Structure 1
Amino acid sequence: MKKKILLIIGLGVMLNYSCQKDKLSPVSQTQVEETPAELYSTPARVLSQLLGLYGAGVRGIGGFASFYSGRVQVYGDIKAENWINTSGNQITGSNTWSQNVNTTSDEVLNIWQQGYYAINNANQFIEGMAAYGTTTVNNPVLAASYVGEAKFVRALSYYTLLQLYARPYADGNGARPGLPLRLTGNRVFANFDMARSTVAQIYDQILKDLNEAETDVQLAYSTAALNTTRAHRNTVIALKVRVLLTMGRYADVITEANKIVGTTTFTATAGTGPTGRVANALQPNIVNVFRTPYTTTESIFSCPFVAGTENPGTQNALAYYFYQNGNTPGVSEFYLNPAGALSDPNWKATDARKTGLTFTNATNSRVFITKFNSISPYPDWAPVLRYSEVLLSLAEAIARTSGVDARAIALLNAVRGRSDATTVFTAANFVNGTALADAIIQERNIEFLGEGLRNIDLMRTLRTIPAKGSTVQAIPTTDPRYIWPISGNELLYNRLIVNN
């Protein structure tokens, strides 16, 4: 009898196991499901998915660390020589400033996470358009434009990550380790181990995305705000110019920049491209670029914010780091290094970039920039691409290929002259093309203070990162600290990746 009872119990256990064996492999309640058709079920929902790429992806809002809402620009500047840190706060970049980051530093973890979050969003959107969205939109031209915008976001994100986590293209002509090249959307938990592609392979993908996007995105939008916050054809070309300059492909820089820079007028009008293209141009007064409504023709691409509803987030905004004017200061964690761009005797006191965009604290003589001058909640728009950058990139490319060239000098004078009419460069000022290119790089140093380009300019030309006072030593190109290490989270979960 006992044997019979035990057998019945055993069978019951087995049956119970067979009925509940799914409990051994439960469906995750937190994983992202496969892209549902509902997300692309109406034209409005398709557009919402697209705009989300710019919001939670590029700007970095929605619970993730900031990206282009400010921190990328901050790190690209404070890693170089133009700033002195006052706080020592590791959460707000002191490790980057002091060249002391490691695999678990806040910025190393968060920028990697946010960059790949933006890339994954773009990948999922491109796949969603192929599966559902193109049919829903029922307009092949518009659908292609949407996909082009997603490719712009993916290209910008990969480019940004390369500048921090990989060696410059000039070091080995792109042969050094780059990044994991992820081109499919990750929607569920799975094995995503992936080795690093080379720097050149990542750049190849960036240019592929941008070339395809240039053909497909819209020439212009219906408002100045949309022309500043969504990728149109000039936006794509401007980013391509930056990418090619970073690669040292100067002849290609000239080809691309000439699409949106007139021969003598230095504006992007209908005469330099298809009718309807955005007429990008320098502002007569540079201060206007950084003041409401932030939608000048010089602002090719910016990340927008609205006080009270769409804020850049705690400790993310540019004004939080750089702004002070005596009466309504930001936190002002960084002020201008007296031995940096400020020490250039050719940057005159009457230059509008000093009179209109800097403030000197009379108590301690510290100089701050006032480009971003809105206090908490810091709704200043964050600039990503400006037309003045395209002009100076073109000027440098011409100087490096044609020497002391009249058009390169004229482009340099266009940017300097709108802020300092008393300085006019001539061919006599430069002994050769290298000297002219150096002057252009220094003009970029002044023009883009606080906008995140300085460290890129140093690295793409394989220059030593200068010391910052007696506190932070110079970093030569051979120093491992020249670039950031790979994110510790990626090293933990990706078994195929190798650290820098």
Structure 2
Amino acid sequence: MKRLKNNLLLGFLASLGMVLIVGCSDMLEPKVYTELTPDTFFQSPADFENALVGIYDPFSSDWAGLYNADPKNYLLRGEVSTDLFYTPWYINYSEFTWGPAGFNGDQIYDKIRTVALATDLIDKMGNSDVDISQDLQARYVAEAKTLRAFIMYILLDYWGPVNPKLDPETLSDDEIIPRMSEEAYVQQMLTDLDEAIPNLDDKYNGDAENWGRMSKGVARMVKLRIHMHQKNWAEAESVGKELMNMGYSLMDDYEAVFNVEQNQEIIYAVPANGQSPNYYLTEILPPGFRSSVDGSITDGDGGWYGYWIPWEFYDKFSDNDARKETILDEYKDSGGNTIDARAEHQGAIPVKFTEFEGNGPDFSMDQPVFRYAEVLLSVAEAINEQDGPTAEALSLANQVRERSFDPADMPSWSGLGQEAFRDSLLLERGREFYAEGLRRTDLIRHGEYINRAQDRGLNAEDHHVLYPIPQEVITEGDGTIEQNPGYTQ
């Protein structure tokens, strides 16, 4: 996969003879005009693989990628409007002051064009008569369907159901189509995933050449997130238990999860490579940072201190919680002085990756996206929502918690009722998944996103659970595209 993604997307598009029309109107309707046919492009299995580059391209930690650490992207925009993360760079996210006009050119919404590209390639690859094994052809189509569903889920998470191009016969039409119903939109994602799973490999842990590809594990994780998002608790429990039978496992040491690549807890990570380096550490380290106090973390140039964990949330980690060791409250500066972050900074430093050295700004750590710990806590939540805190739900949650505590120090959850167990899971997910992009979605699912923002003194309103459709899209749609509630002028 690293080799695959090192190909240039520009060259890929040129080789297909495909043009994605770019201009003032291209965010609304990603128009795909192509002369690509099985006769003109798909001549070998390598052509199928090269065709997938454009659909994989958004899953990158480079600047325009969904998993780059810039607040405009998906990874940390899901954190910075919550109680868990803060950024001074894009104050509208942290302070709930965003509106439609400020989202013109939104680079996440822009990925709706990739859905159109996926639609085109699913059709062309599925109907190709090139000399390729049926199994391999089916796998390439399955990867494209998984990627399409993955991007559609991300769009749903931020905007609700949008208006993706899903009919290959209309990709070149000028007609603007309305947004889908939520039921149809969700069903499309699930259909793509259900059709894809039988034709995907199980997983690629330990397979460096293919690490980063879509797999059964990834497709099921997208299904799990969809069902959790929709509060389909029985379905979430079912797909979660399918994942539990796939051979994934928790690492014994929390820090090792982020320092050991391709380990058995990582279901999917964005691979870091020459085309897609990881900038996360530079964006969170303070200027003047040189090392952690114990010297295990060193950086020659320091960072930009664009994010921090507010002290109020940092203090929700008990001192005997091993996860707290991945967050710095002190460090050494360039003069060798010990800096007390609580005295000098507005929040703690969430390094997450605790074994690195270098000068930045880019580093070579893979960016985790799906972890087995999320499966266990999600299934525990799904069981609790259906049947209360059963012994099974408690056991699943404790598997995650026990890693971070000595047995005598772990707070007991025995005897909790359904509501208290729900609240405890939400807090546990915050401590377990900080800086992994889950906090906003978790708070919304629990009905706490707006309340907690208001408790912080922010002017958050109910409609802020969705972002506004970019105003340019609404204008170009001329009444066809409905704006999300609360954002109409």
TM-score bracket for the superposition, by shorter chain length: 0.7 to 0.9
Q: Does 1:128 align with 2:124?
A: yes
Shift of 1:158: 0.9
Equivalent residues in 2 for 1:90-105, closer than 5 Å: 93-105=90-102
Label 1:29 to 1:98 Cα distance change in 2 as closer, same or farther (>3 A). Answer: closer
Equivalent residues in 2 for 1:68-147, closer than 5 Å: 68-70=67-69, 71-86=73-88, 89=89, 93-105=90-102, 109-113=106-110, 115-132=111-128, 135-136=129-130, 138-147=132-141
1:159 to 153, 156, 172: 153
- Give the Cα separation in 2 of the matches to 1:233 and 1:436: 30
Residue-by-residue CA offset, 1:346-400 (whole Å, 9 max, x unaligned): x222322111344435344131111246631233322211111011001111111
SS at 1:208 equivalent: helix
Residue-by-residue CA offset, 1:403-441 (whole Å, 9 max, x unaligned): 1211111111111111222444656340x1222122112
Q: Which position in structure 1 is the counterpart of 2:349?
A: 368
- Give the Cα separation in 2 of the matches to 1:239 and 1:209: 11
Q: Does 1:434 align with 2:419?
A: yes
1:352 to 322, 326, 329: 322
Q: Is the 8 A contact 1:251 1:401 kept in 2?
A: yes
- Give the Cα separation in 2 of the matches to 1:222 and 1:442: 29
Shift of 1:192: 4.0
- Give the Cα separation in 2 of the matches to 1:336 and 1:406: 33
1:384 to 369, 384, 409: 369
Q: Which position in structure 1 is the counterpart of 2:66?
A: 67
Q: Which position in structure 1 is the counterpart of 2:46?
A: 44
Q: TM-score w.r.t. structure 1 length?
A: 0.77
Shift of 1:112: 0.4
SS at 1:300 equivalent: strand
2:305 to 306, 329, 332: 332
Q: Does 1:310 align with 2:279?
A: no
- Give the Cα separation in 1 of the matches to 2:130 and 2:468: 43
Q: Which position in structure 2 is the counterpart of 1:301?
A: 268
- Give the Cα separation in 2 of the matches to 1:230 and 1:44: 15
Q: TM-score w.r.t. structure 2 length?
A: 0.79
Q: Is the 8 A contact 2:115 2:164 kept in 1?
A: no
1:238 to 192, 199, 221: 221
Q: Is the 8 A contact 1:409 1:425 kept in 2?
A: no
Q: Is the 8 A contact 2:103 2:469 kept in 1?
A: no
Q: Is the 8 A contact 1:81 1:465 kept in 2?
A: no
Q: Is the 8 A contact 1:108 1:484 kept in 2?
A: no
Q: Which position in structure 2 is the counterpart of 1:401?
A: 386
Q: Is the 8 A contact 2:76 2:436 kept in 1?
A: yes
Label 1:28 to 1:393 Cα distance change in 2 as closer, same or farther (>3 A). Answer: closer
Q: Which position in structure 1 is the counterpart of 2:293?
A: none
Q: Does 1:319 align with 2:281?
A: yes
SS at 1:301 equivalent: strand
- Give the Cα separation in 2 of the matches to 1:434 and 1:469: 21
Label 1:258 to 1:192 Cα distance change in 2 as closer, same or farther (>3 A). Answer: same
Q: Is the 8 A contact 2:329 2:341 kept in 1?
A: no
Q: Which position in structure 2 is the counterpart of 1:169?
A: none
- Give the Cα separation in 2 of the matches to 1:193 and 1:28: 16
SS at 1:224 equivalent: coil
Shift of 1:464: 3.6
Shift of 1:334: 1.2
Identity within the alignment, %? 23
Structure 2: gaps (5+ residues): 1-18, 23-31, 291-298, 332-338, 485-489
Shift of 1:187: 9.5
- Give the Cα separation in 1 of the matches to 2:33 and 2:353: 37
SS at 1:390 equivalent: helix
Equivalent residues in 2 for 1:180-199, closer than 5 Å: 180-184=163-167, 190-199=173-182
SS at 2:373 equivalent: helix
Shift of 1:193: 0.4
- Write the letter of the residue equivalent to 1:297: Q
Q: Is the 8 A contact 2:268 2:368 kept in 1?
A: yes
Q: Which position in structure 2 is the counterpart of 1:497?
A: 481
Q: Is the 8 A contact 2:206 2:262 kept in 1?
A: no
Structure with the bigger percentage of helix: 1
Aligned residue pairs total 425
Q: Is the 8 A contact 2:78 2:438 kept in 1?
A: yes
Q: Is the 8 A contact 2:103 2:471 kept in 1?
A: no
- Write the letter of the residue equivalent to 1:435: A
- Write the letter of the residue equivalent to 1:371: K
- Give the Cα separation in 2 of the matches to 1:106 and 1:331: 24
Q: Which position in structure 1 is the counterpart of 2:315?
A: 343
- Give the Cα separation in 1 of the matches to 2:216 and 2:131: 21
Residue-by-residue CA offset, 1:186-226 (whole Å, 9 max, x unaligned): 99764140111122221111111111111221224484335
Q: Which position in structure 2 is the counterpart of 1:290?
A: 258
Shift of 1:259: 1.4
- Give the Cα separation in 1 of the matches to 2:264 and 2:370: 11
Label 1:364 to 1:42 Cα distance change in 2 as closer, same or farther (>3 A). Answer: same
Q: Is the 8 A contact 2:201 2:215 kept in 1?
A: yes
Bigger Rg, which one: 1
- Give the Cα separation in 1 of the matches to 2:20 and 2:214: 36
- Give the Cα separation in 2 of the matches to 1:260 and 1:28: 37
Shift of 1:154: 0.9
Label 1:222 to 1:399 Cα distance change in 2 as closer, same or farther (>3 A). Answer: closer
Label 1:389 to 1:28 Cα distance change in 2 as closer, same or farther (>3 A). Answer: closer
Residue-by-residue CA offset, 1:87-121 (whole Å, 9 max, x unaligned): xx3xxx332222122224358721100x2132122
SS at 1:191 equivalent: coil
Residue-by-residue CA offset, 1:24-76 (whole Å, 9 max, x unaligned): xxx9998853325443221112111124421x232286xx8332344201100
- Give the Cα separation in 1 of the matches to 2:104 and 2:377: 29
- Write the letter of the residue equivalent to 1:455: R
Q: Which position in structure 1 is the counterpart of 2:8?
A: none
SS at 1:383 equivalent: strand
- Give the Cα separation in 2 of the matches to 1:249 and 1:470: 29
SS at 1:334 equivalent: coil
Label 1:311 to 1:154 Cα distance change in 2 as closer, same or farther (>3 A). Answer: same
- Write the letter of the residue equivalent to 1:337: P
- Write the letter of the residue equivalent to 2:470: S
Task: Please report the RMSD computed on the Cα atoms of aligned residues, expressed in angstroms.
Answer: 2.9
SS at 2:83 equivalent: coil
Shift of 1:323: 3.7
